[in-house]
Homo-oligomer: A and B are copies of this chain.
Amino acid sequence: MDTKIPSQITFDDFREFCNSAKLKPTHQRFEIYRELNSATDHPSAEMLYQRVKTNVPSVSLETVYRTLATFEQHGIIVRINAFGDRARFDANLTVHQHLACTNCLAICDFTWTAFEKLELPAQTGNWGRIESQQVVVKGLCNSCLEKESSA
């Protein structure tokens, strides 16, 4: 993957990406990408489905799943397995890490420059070919901490 996607894309931009990826630039794909790209909460397939439905009432959850899988294979989105129950997705391809609340399951981004500068220990090179590395920091977000203390 290589095609650079600006943060706000038009249907024409999307069409261009689809052409280079040999994908049909359908209405559904465009809306799913646009919705994910404008989200900051790392939605699940179901969450995304609900949002896309407001613009494309006829869209199906299966299409959302299939489209997300396609996008992931083409490297324009990333799947986040912070929690075991459902996959979460992210269209932000810049290097960043995630904070995940184990109570409300909110996920948010943060940058960790010191980490990004680190090199993997040499031994990992003997294991195979590294393709990605990701930190997930878990805890309780402020809002859940408040609820906890007032309970």
Chain A residues with a Cβ under 8 A of chain B? 1-3, 79, 81-84, 87, 99, 101-102, 108, 110-115, 118-121, 123-124, 126-145
Secondary structure class of chain A's binding surface, majority of residues? mixed
| Across-interface contacts of A83 in B (CB, < 8 A) | 81
| Across-interface contacts of A101 in B (CB, < 8 A) | 128
Q: A81-B82, A81-B83, A133-B135 are in contact. Are A141 and B121 (CB under 8 A)?
A: no
Copies in the complex: 2
Residue of B nearest to A101 (CB): B128
CB A22 to nearest CB in B, in angstroms, measures 23
Q: How far is the CA of A135 from the CA of B121 in the complex (A)?
A: 13
Q: How far is the CA of A81 from the CA of B2 in the complex (A)?
A: 25
Taking a contact as CB atoms under 8 Å apart, the answer to whether A126 and B81 are in contact is: no
8 shortest interchain CB distances as A-B pairs: A128-B141, A130-B139, A131-B139, A133-B137, A81-B84, A128-B142, A81-B81, A132-B138
Among B1, B81, B132, B134, contact of A127 (Cβ-Cβ < 8 Å)? B1
| Across-interface contacts of A138 in B (CB, < 8 A) | 130-134
Taking a contact as CB atoms under 8 Å apart, the answer to whether A121 and B128 are in contact is: no
| Across-interface contacts of A145 in B (CB, < 8 A) | 128-129
Residue of B nearest to A148 (CB): B129
Taking a contact as CB atoms under 8 Å apart, the answer to whether A99 and B124 are in contact is: yes
Taking a contact as CB atoms under 8 Å apart, the answer to whether A115 and B118 are in contact is: yes
Taking a contact as CB atoms under 8 Å apart, the answer to whether A1 and B136 are in contact is: no
| Across-interface contacts of A132 in B (CB, < 8 A) | 137-139
